[in-house]
Chains A and B, each alone.
Chain A
Amino acid sequence: MAEGEKYRKERLDRGIKARSDTIYVLASSRDLLYLLMPRALPVALLILLPILLHGTYWEKVLFYSCIFGLLALSWDFMNSVGLVSLGQALFFGAGAYFAGALNHYLGWPIFLTIPAGTIGGALICTALLVPVVRLRGVYFSIVTLILPLLFAHLIETLEILGGTHGLLSLSAYPSGWIAIYLAVGALLLVLFGFRKILDEDFGMILRGIRDDDRVVMAAGVNIYWYKAQSIFLAAAVGSFAGALMTHYYQFVGRSVLALDYTILPLAAVVLGGPGSFAGAALGSFILVPLSEALRAMGGLRMALYGLILIGALAALPEGIFHYLQRRYHQFERMVKV
């Protein structure tokens, strides 16, 4: 090279990573901490936060973060089967309306409406999406983008389920602690549950479908059955979030089908890093408090999510979580070419 020496960046695993990866018997408490800390610390923090924030405004923000975190996890799960949804609002709205209607019209108590909303909402969404599960890429996304809009318009036009006014005065939680620990508990359960599922044989098929669905088909696997199952799981998580939120607000209206519940989870996953679930949760715990802090911006918040999406896609496509993970496990140095 004419202009002198050139350097390139080299990434190496930290010694402790190599050791704790390969040697099954953990040699020291340091190794143990190295493996446990990234998992135990956020979990402990999440369990403690409701107590620390009790009685403040930020308790509510924590609840919203968990709700959007659940939606983001549900998006990430569908994404790991190669189904890209632009309509998390459909799952959210189905659960919210299902639980709300049972409570409003039939007077079911909360501990029945939330499970019923979760299962019922998930069944409805699965039934709606199964006919289009053959579609690839963009076309599937278009259907998911349109379905929540279609239902919002139907509810308005037919004046069913409360029409434009929504269903009012639903039952509240007996105590704020129940709501917040339900949300936190569900988030942790879904986060580690989804990670576990993708590590199982079942998850291997799902990842195979994402990478090359034709190869999986050629192996004699009915990919549509697997896709339907994963839609059901993702929809159940989204519907649960919807049902939880309905009783928190004690209200359900067309706003639960709005674009907000699609864009924010999407922005959270893209910012946090898709594919790991932890990134999705991390993203929503960054975005939701941020948007609460910027509440004064009002209508511009949606534009802000859009900007964050563009910025994250262009500048850090791997996402914050993968970046942090890399820095944790590896170090970088410059080496002479």
Chain B
Amino acid sequence: MEIIIYGITNSISLALMAIGFSLTFGISGLPNFAHGAFYLLGGILTWIFLNQLGIPYLVAALLSILAIGAFGFFLYWGLMLRLRGLAINEVIATLAVAIVIIEVLRWMGFSGFSYVLPPFIRGSVNIGGVWVDNQRIVMVGIGAALIVVLYLFTRRTKTGLSFRAIAQNERTAIAVGIDPDWTAALSLAMGSGLAVVAGLAILPLGAIDTEMGYDILLYALAVGIIGGLESLPGALLGSFILGFSQILVATFLRAQWQTVVTLAAIVIILAIKPSGLLGKYKELEERV
């Protein structure tokens, strides 16, 4: 029972971490290696708003989501646009942005037990003999809601449909009047905002640690690669496989093996089935 419940919460938290990365990459092919850095920066920004400026929690959370989203948007126009199409330079540039953000935050000392975001609802409930804190349940709720909202967004709204059009066939999309740069900038902004949403849902479970900036990126990559990077069901499947295997390993071996499993999963999946478990042939052509 414990394994099932912690497996599910762990899987949902992985899905939350990965969803923004998958969204940006799936739509505009932009690998946002600064994803983990945005997650971290969002959490710290909220902490500053909350504790140093005294802004109410909800407002602080919304403000930092918007701030990081806007940062992603301007990052596209300011930097990524100049490197568009050179996949490798995009990776190097976003990785460099991530390093700058994380190392500056580390230098400023935003790490440790004094940097904790309060949970949304305190206390815990008993589910089938296992005590689960309310924040984990809220997190699962946020994750589920986000998946539904994203599903509806990409299928029911005009912006969402234009996102999918760009992802499916960029030239045809341009021909019917969709602006690819505008779409890519929006997708980067949304992906960055989603990184902060994930951070706000997950960070109250523990203290903020700057090292997470790199770890979150690895988790997002792992989930995306296992499942297949562009598909929402793939990302979900990937996060459940990874989530449960992490919990199993932590229960039966030692907690340190979690990271080893995650990293090994990326390498092994890319070596034997490069398109991911639910990836499509189009992706296979891009990867191999």
Q: B-contacting residues of A (Cβ < 8 Å)? A: 84, 86, 131-132, 134-139, 141-143, 146-147, 149-150, 153-154, 156-157, 259, 263, 266-267, 270, 298-300, 302-303, 305-307, 309-310, 313-314, 317
The contact size tier of chain B is 35 or more
Known contacts: A86-B91, A131-B271, A300-B104. The answer to whether A306 contacts B97 by CB under 8 A is yes
Known contacts: A134-B274, A137-B88. The answer to whether A310 contacts B288 by CB under 8 A is no
Query: A310 and B93: CB pair below 8 A?
Result: yes
List 14 contacting pairs A-B, 8 Å CB cutoff, sorted by A: A132-B271, A136-B288, A137-B87, A138-B87, A138-B88, A143-B271, A153-B263, A157-B254, A259-B214, A266-B92, A299-B107, A302-B103, A314-B79, A314-B82
Query: B264 and A84: CB pair below 8 A?
Result: no
Known contacts: A134-B274, A157-B257. The answer to whether A150 contacts B263 by CB under 8 A is yes
B194 at the interface (CB under 8 A from A): no
The A interface, classified by DSSP as helix, strand, loop or mixed, is helix
Write the nearest CB–CB distance from B252 to chain A, whole angstroms.
14
Known contacts: A310-B96, A310-B100, A313-B93. The answer to whether A132 contacts B107 by CB under 8 A is no
Q: Which of A139, A146, A303, A313 contacts B92 (CB 8 A)?
A: A313
Query: B264 and A150: CB pair below 8 A?
Result: yes
Query: What A residues does B79 contact at CB under 8 A?
Result: 310, 313-314
Interface residues of B in 105-139 (CB under 8 A from A): 106-107
Q: Which of B92, B257, B271 contacts A309 (CB 8 A)?
A: B92
Known contacts: A157-B260, A306-B97, A314-B79. The answer to whether A132 contacts B270 by CB under 8 A is yes
Give CA–CA (A270, B96) in the complex, Å: 12
Query: A303 and B99: CB pair below 8 A?
Result: yes
Known contacts: A142-B221, A146-B263. The answer to whether A135 contacts B96 by CB under 8 A is no
Give CA–CA (A31, B87) in the complex, Å: 41
B165 at the interface (CB under 8 A from A): no
Interface residues of B in 74-106 (CB under 8 A from A): 79, 82-83, 87-89, 91-93, 95-100, 103-104, 106
Query: What A residues does B257 contact at CB under 8 A?
Result: 157
Query: What B residues does A137 contact at CB under 8 A?
Result: 87-88
B31 at the interface (CB under 8 A from A): yes
